[in-house]
Structure 1
Amino acid sequence: MTRTDIHVHVAPALDSKTAATLSGASVDSDGRIQIDGRQVGPAKLYDVPALEAYLAAAGLDHAIVSLPPPFYRQQLSVDEARAWVRAVNDGILARIGEHPALTALVYLPLEHPELAVEEYQRTRSQKRFVGATAAAGGRSALGTDPRLVPLWEALDADGAALLLHPGTSPDHRLDDFYLSNLLGNPSETTVSVAHLALGGVLQRYPDMQVVLVHCGGTLPAIVGRWERGAETHRPGLEDLAESPRESIRRLYVDCLAHDPAVVDLAVGIFGEEHILLGSDWPFPMGTDDPIALIQHLDGEFVERVATDNPAKVFPAIKSTLSRAG
């Protein structure tokens, strides 16, 4: 069985000619990308052999790679974003090339819902893309925004996976102490999911497979409060056919919690079949050994998290890897 890490980042491969046509972007002589004059790193984002070495050392066979947040550029205008998103998605495929251990997620700019639909349709038949990714929070439109309905319908019709990765929090109180990451990232994920769950989006589009990183952010600790709010009919909460807890069990989360007790909580909240391996490689807030995060649980569960669960969420993995092999 194929052991898969679903939360791995690489930088797109851009040549200097392409970069020159994109607002605020350039490419160094070593192929590293600069955005608005700042080099985007770490260096391993550009190093596929280093990624393959990580997989081998971690006892894994396959990684699903996605664009990291420094490349989201949610502040771009729709016309600038169209050119940028096309370039980085094509660049992600160029980066992984024909490496048989790698597949990818197409990046969708939810701050421009119509463009997100357009880009999904453009890349829908590209076999190396086994799902999509987008920014949770940041400047993204909320999940209940009617402009996102065509995207939810398309993902639902395809039974496709959408991995939500937190965008940069707009809360300037988090500028100190690295809180934009330490607190902002899990909070942005939770706010995003609140709109999907409490707004009935997860219920209306049951075949869209939504995946959360960082073990669901603060969601495992807060869903009980949502449940209580629904039970007591708090103002603004609709009476949905599904309770918040039932809707949340539709979600999949990776195991990147940095605390075994939180992993155990996530297993109870989401269910054993909804936990996935995720490392956040190669960022410092990630891990070089995602299996170690769940090693305290029984071996059968560990193997299911590494093999069966990702194959269920990303069914295109099997056929794509078979063709690559």
Structure 2
Amino acid sequence: MIIDVHAHVLLPEVEGEVSGRPGHDEHRATDARRNGEESLRVSGRMVGERLSRLTEVSARLADMDAAGVDVQVVSPSPSHYHYWAEPGPAERAHKLANEGVAAHCAGAPDRLVGLGLVPLQHPGLAVEALDHALSLGLRGVEISSHAPGRELSDPAYEPLWARAAETGAVLFLHPFGCTLDERLDRWYLSNIVGQPVENAVALSHLVFSGVLDRHPDLRIVAAHGGGYLPTHLGRADHGWRVRPDARGCAEPPSTYLRRMWFDSLVHDPAVLRHLVEAVGADRVVLGSDHPFDMGSDAPVEALRAAGLGPDALAAIGGGNAAALFDLTTDTPERDSP
């Protein structure tokens, strides 16, 4: 069974909840400053052209069939995080997101599995939002690399990590926006460079702060192959060895990457081989970022291009994800093209 763990759905009802709220205009201005006007225009056109693939189950299934994917793990578009929102609107928006994903997946329950959202900007609401997602049959939640004024190492998130570990919920770490701001406002560097940077920073906060020591059962999946961190593990381990102020975790940082999972969306066969070498074939899962332009329309072909052995291909193609998300390994029956 081929399982794609990185695919998105667009939920207009979430945007309707936050539109016009205090802070919304400021959020939009920040987004424009970070991305640049040209990138926003291109992105708007791209989303418009792919709207049916982001909202309609039938279009999603057709794409999956064309790519040879049996099951997708569907998460909200990261544009729905809205970590700027006050508690009331944030709570309502995230519940709408959870309900929207659940309803979308109900359109093809044998082929679609969902993840919800939690309001990271309000840690006191995060556990309740996670429980809400799980109560709807979702398998976990998608989170960004940080919230305003809070890194993932913030002690305020300890109850969320504890609850996720207790329930077995998957935490899908997918950045949205980069705090390098205007330095990346041209040539779509906000995504091309910013997303891998944010992945590396967020994972480093989780590792170096000892979150994974305190919560060893956490199920964390990092989008975009974990960004730059897996390719620079030597530097992380060296710093941990020589700098006493880097000893927030009990073991060398590379140890912890073998306790997490990473999607295969790295856009280069050599980088994918390196990722597998760094974290193990049992810790990599297939990812496409469907249906955005920075994703892959042929994730299975990209996996095969890495030249991995048959056992690794089977594990990454679906075996690891089936175990991680507690899915049956029976291949669901596809609709006729």
TM range (shorter): 0.7 to 0.9
Note closer, same or farther for the CA distance 1:243–1:24 as it changes in structure 2 (3 Å cut): same
Residue 138 (structure 1) shift: 5.6
Residue 256 (structure 1) shift: 0.5
- Work out whether 1:279 is the aligned partner of 2:274: no
Distance 1:239 1:184 in 2: 25
Distance 2:310 2:153 in 1: 39
Q: Describe how 1:115-134 pairs up with structure 2 within 5 A.
A: 115-127=125-137, 129-134=138-143
- Counterpart of 2:224 in structure 1 is 214
Note closer, same or farther for the CA distance 1:137–1:320 as it changes in structure 2 (3 Å cut): farther
CA contact (8 A) 1:106 1:132 kept: yes
Which one of the candidate residues 96, 100, 115 is aligned to 1:105?
115
- Counterpart of 1:12 in structure 2 is 11
- Counterpart of 1:195 in structure 2 is 205
Letter aligned with residue 228 of structure 1: H
Note closer, same or farther for the CA distance 1:161–1:140 as it changes in structure 2 (3 Å cut): farther
Distance 2:148 2:3 in 1: 30
CA contact (8 A) 2:98 2:132 kept: no
Query: What RMSD over aligned residues (CA atoms) do the two structures have, in Å?
Result: 2.5
Q: Describe how 1:133-144 pairs up with structure 2 within 5 A.
A: 133-137=142-146, 139=148, 141-144=150-153
- Work out whether 1:23 is the aligned partner of 2:33: no
Q: Describe how 1:1-325 pairs up with structure 2 within 5 A.
A: 2-12=1-11, 14=13, 22-24=17-19, 41=48, 42-43=50-51, 44-99=53-108, 100-127=110-137, 129-137=138-146, 139=148, 141-172=150-181, 173-232=183-242, 234-238=243-247, 240-295=249-304, 296-315=307-326, 317-318=327-328
Note closer, same or farther for the CA distance 1:107–1:216 as it changes in structure 2 (3 Å cut): same
Cα displacement string for residues 87-145 of structure 1 (whole angstroms, at most 9, x for unaligned residues): 12111122222312101001122222112212012233322x11221112363731221
Note closer, same or farther for the CA distance 1:140–1:54 as it changes in structure 2 (3 Å cut): farther
Runs of 4+ in 1 over 4 A off after TM superposition: 38-41, 319-322
- Counterpart of 1:31 in structure 2 is none
Note closer, same or farther for the CA distance 1:61–1:319 as it changes in structure 2 (3 Å cut): closer
CA contact (8 A) 1:5 1:60 kept: yes
CA contact (8 A) 1:13 1:95 kept: no
Residue 266 (structure 1) shift: 0.4
Distance 2:290 2:228 in 1: 21
CA contact (8 A) 2:97 2:116 kept: no
Greater mean alpha carbon deviation, residues 301-310 or residues 278-287: 301-310
Cα displacement string for residues 231-257 of structure 1 (whole angstroms, at most 9, x for unaligned residues): 11x152126332111112111101111
Note closer, same or farther for the CA distance 1:140–1:10 as it changes in structure 2 (3 Å cut): farther
- Compute the TM-score of the two structures, normalised by the length of structure 2: 0.84
CA contact (8 A) 1:138 1:166 kept: no
- Compute the TM-score of the two structures, normalised by the length of structure 1: 0.87
Greater mean alpha carbon deviation, residues 237-246 or residues 186-195: 237-246
CA contact (8 A) 1:291 1:302 kept: no
Greater mean alpha carbon deviation, residues 141-150 or residues 250-259: 141-150
Could you tell me which runs of 5 or more consecutive residues in structure 1 were left unpaired when the two chains were aligned. Answer: 27-34
Q: Which has the higher contact order (CA 8 A, sep 6+)?
A: 2
- Counterpart of 1:29 in structure 2 is none
Q: Identify the structure with the greater helix proportion.
A: 2
Percentage identity across aligned positions? 34
Greater mean alpha carbon deviation, residues 170-179 or residues 236-245: 236-245
Note closer, same or farther for the CA distance 1:97–1:182 as it changes in structure 2 (3 Å cut): same
Note closer, same or farther for the CA distance 1:25–1:253 as it changes in structure 2 (3 Å cut): farther
Distance 2:329 2:94 in 1: 26
- Counterpart of 2:35 in structure 1 is none
CA contact (8 A) 1:160 1:207 kept: no
Note closer, same or farther for the CA distance 1:320–1:142 as it changes in structure 2 (3 Å cut): farther
Distance 2:78 2:18 in 1: 17
